Structure 1
Amino acid sequence: MNPKSLSLTLKAALIAAALGFATSAQAAPQIRPEVGKPLQEAQKLIGDKNYKEALARISAAEQTAGSKISPYETYVIGRMRGVADLGIGDTNGAMAAFEAALKSGQTPDGEKLSSLQTLAQLAYSAKNFPKAIEYIGQYKAAGGNNPQITGLLAQAYYLGGKYPEAAQEIKAQLQKSGQAPSETQLQLLASCALKQNDANGYVEALQLLVSYHPKPSYWLDLIARTAGSKGFSDRLSLDLARLRYASGTLSTAGDYLDAAQLALQAGFPGEADQYVKAGYAKNALGQGSDAPRHARLKALVEKKIAEDQKTLAEGEKAAQKQASGDALVNTGLNYVGYQQYDKGIALIEQGIAKGNLKYANEAKLHLGYAQVLAGQKAKAQATLRGVQGSDGTASVAKLWMIRAR
């Protein structure tokens, strides 16, 4: 929340509350008449929005009270001065005045929470974040649970440069609320990680962002961070292209060309055709001086599909005869590229069952990927949860698990 807007809201609320305060204060037996009279005058001046003159009358009351000022008079004067200070825009003065009122020990039990809330808001709006943290903590300890106040704690930590504390508070809030986290909370969590150079923490925050607020920009950042993680294998480049296609983050001609070429190189012309058609549909391909190049790729994909369709059945039979399940997995993925999901999934499962796989975890990843595309979300979650490895395969599987929710 913007500290300035908070201050304006608080000012209006406090001034409205103060209009009936001085009269009740004068009626209290602890207030001497000579002290109460200028306070009553100050009340009228506050009602007329003449805050400067109101402060003069409050100072007169304080001077009259002198060294014999009672705790209750201290409380009343502090409250009135705080409202008038806020009226002239002196947030620091208002905070000091309300602090004095609270420390007088005369705050009624029913008003302590609201007083702590006021002080927390004032400190935050004055950008006195250590004080804001202090008073929000006291507010919570006293049983305060207004989310507009407790929600300021993480922001106060963050703006005060206490990034680990801010992240811890956000996580505690998320765990306690039991509700979907707001985009602002998760953005703050991500920023805390960046401020600490915590790459893993940032990726975790991005994973939450794409789970609850799946904007393409978050997906693009998350996929890029995953690809740049330590030990990530170039072998998974096509898997990243698949994620970008599914998340709507292929945008440029180069994106679509790269995805199509990776699919062709892997032997999946049907999948390559999806990327080419999508590129043309988005007007990313077929435009400008590179349009002839795009047309050549389109023609090549069509040629490869025609050739593949002639040998697909024979290739499946040959894969069945091999000792390793790799050929079955690849053949299954090829069918998935043609959107024949049931047949493709069955072949991938046969390949995994046969074993002797070069990359067993990658085969599981591709089974989960195919199940996601087929709409088999529960099965996909179970499959992808079992993917392991430190070469990036498990990281990609985790992203597909998010897509499968």
Structure 2
Amino acid sequence: MFNRFRSLPATAMAAVLGCALTMTATPAAAREKAKKEEASKGNQLAPSREFTPALKKLTDAAQGKDAAALQAALTEAEASAAKADDHYLTAFYRLQLGILNKDQAIQAQALDAMLDSGLTPPENAATYNFFSGNFAYAAKDYAKAIQRLEAAQAAGSTEAALTPILMDSYLNAGQIDKGWAIAKAEIEARRAAEERPGEELFVRPAQAFQKANRTPDVLEVLTMRVEDYSTPATWRNTLYILLQQAGGDKDLSLDILRLMRATGSMTDRAEYSEYAALATEAGYPGEVVSLIKQGQAKGVIPASDVHFKGVLDSQTPRARDDEAALAADAGKASTKANPKVALGTADALVGNGDYAKAIPLYEAALAAGANPVAQYRLGVAQVQAGQYDAGIATLAKVEGNRARLARLWSVHAKQKASGSAG
């Protein structure tokens, strides 16, 4: 489950934000020379003479971590501040007060004053912008969060939380495509570094697309998610949505349920019931019998279940007779010569788990002409037979309403080949 990102605790804030400032007192006669040097040395703060007494009190109070003294010094500093540098220093020490008091509202205000002044040293820009963006995100000011976090990123921030927070800020601001583009780039970067992307990079965009009723985009995100998070739960979430999209296409629904079974993501009695009904209607008794027995072994179907007992009683003798007939038909030249018979025989063989025998029959059906279903099921049979590379190559050619399902089978095939299948 996705949780909103939280600001860093005060102790971590103090360690990062409670840093020293670069300051120099610049005599009037030397200011022109100093201006020329600032380009190479970076921003250096030059407090006014009137502000110097207050600045000493601010520094002493901050170093002593005396919140009361720091508050008093800030009151004096605000009254004596005469130039932009003075105001920047006042804001800096107000930030320290916010850290001491664990008051994020004060911290946010101080960071805004510092960043908006234009005087923030380049070396601090990434850190200050990140935390300012973090505070804005927590306050649900997503436009401001985006502005600050983009600036932090441009300044070279390496904060691990930056990308997820920036992504979520765009999503919450209604800019879903931009949020997903950020997430996708981070996913690809993590994969390139041989690291697993954070799951929030998939979950939050999927939720946003779902809320916007953009189901194809939801499925795209979830398809990428199962590549990195191959668990029965993630497969189930993805395939359940695909099953809903199948509508009244019984043949397609059966193929989706077959992938659910292959990935171990069938966990509900109703799914076994639908699968058994579709396979019975399609004429695959061997598949029905093996499915129900698997469900019973997993404890999803109780042995006392009257409905499934009746299905087993009717389908078991048919499966036995079917197996003998299929063994005879599979080797006949006439079976391969008739594309329709070859496809039907291959489907029945797959239902019985005879994947290797089904492959040449699917190939024969395809040789007679383009057939999206035969193309898809050939790829599945190859994967189930352990011919992973061949299966992936075959599935890559699938078009039409099984294209998404073919891609998911390819993901499963790669995981099986690498031994990472859930």
| TM-score, normalization by structure 2 | 0.81
1:120 is aligned to 133
Q: Is the 8 A contact 1:91 1:126 kept in 2?
A: no
Question: How far 1:188 moved relative to its partner?
Answer: 1.6
2:290 is aligned to 274
3-state SS, counterpart of residue 387 of structure 1: coil
Match of 2:219 among 187, 197, 203: 203
Match of 2:322 among 299, 308, 323: 308
- CA distance in 2 between counterparts of 1:251 and 1:104 reads 59
Q: Is the 8 A contact 1:130 1:160 kept in 2?
A: yes
Question: How far 1:37 moved relative to its partner?
Answer: 4.0
Cα–Cα, structure 1 residues 252 and 228, in superposed 2: closer, same or farther, change >3 Å?
closer
Return 185-194 or 157-166, whichever deviates more: 157-166
2:410 is aligned to 401
Aligned residues: 390
Question: How far 1:176 moved relative to its partner?
Answer: 4.8
Q: Is the 8 A contact 1:10 1:121 kept in 2?
A: no
1:78 is aligned to 91
1:153 is aligned to 166
Cα–Cα, structure 1 residues 160 and 12, in superposed 2: closer, same or farther, change >3 Å?
farther
Letter in 1 for 2:409: W
Question: How far 1:163 moved relative to its partner?
Answer: 2.8
Question: How far 1:150 moved relative to its partner?
Answer: 4.0
Letter in 2 for 1:11: M
What RMSD in Å do the two structures reach over aligned CA positions? 3.0
- CA distance in 2 between counterparts of 1:147 and 1:321 reads 60
Letter in 2 for 1:395: R
1:56 is aligned to 72
2:39 is aligned to none
2:390 is aligned to 379
2:311 is aligned to 297
Structure 1: gaps of 5 or more residues: none
1:188 aligned onto 2:204: yes
Structure 2: gaps of 5 or more residues: 27-45, 415-422
| TM-score, normalization by structure 1 | 0.84
Question: How far 1:47 moved relative to its partner?
Answer: 5.2
- CA distance in 2 between counterparts of 1:113 and 1:232 reads 54
Q: Is the 8 A contact 2:336 2:364 kept in 1?
A: no
Q: Is the 8 A contact 2:180 2:205 kept in 1?
A: yes
3-state SS, counterpart of residue 406 of structure 2: helix
Q: Is the 8 A contact 2:145 2:166 kept in 1?
A: yes
Question: How far 1:201 moved relative to its partner?
Answer: 0.9
Question: How far 1:275 moved relative to its partner?
Answer: 0.6
Letter in 1 for 2:384: L
Q: Is the 8 A contact 2:343 2:362 kept in 1?
A: yes
- CA distance in 2 between counterparts of 1:3 and 1:285 reads 41
Cα–Cα, structure 1 residues 255 and 126, in superposed 2: closer, same or farther, change >3 Å?
closer
- CA distance in 1 between counterparts of 2:167 and 2:345 reads 51
| Aligned residues with identical type, % of pairs | 27
Question: How far 1:35 moved relative to its partner?
Answer: 3.5
1:13 aligned onto 2:3: no
3-state SS, counterpart of residue 285 of structure 1: coil
Return 197-206 or 175-184, whichever deviates more: 175-184
1:331 is aligned to 345
1:241 aligned onto 2:257: yes
Question: How far 1:345 moved relative to its partner?
Answer: 1.4
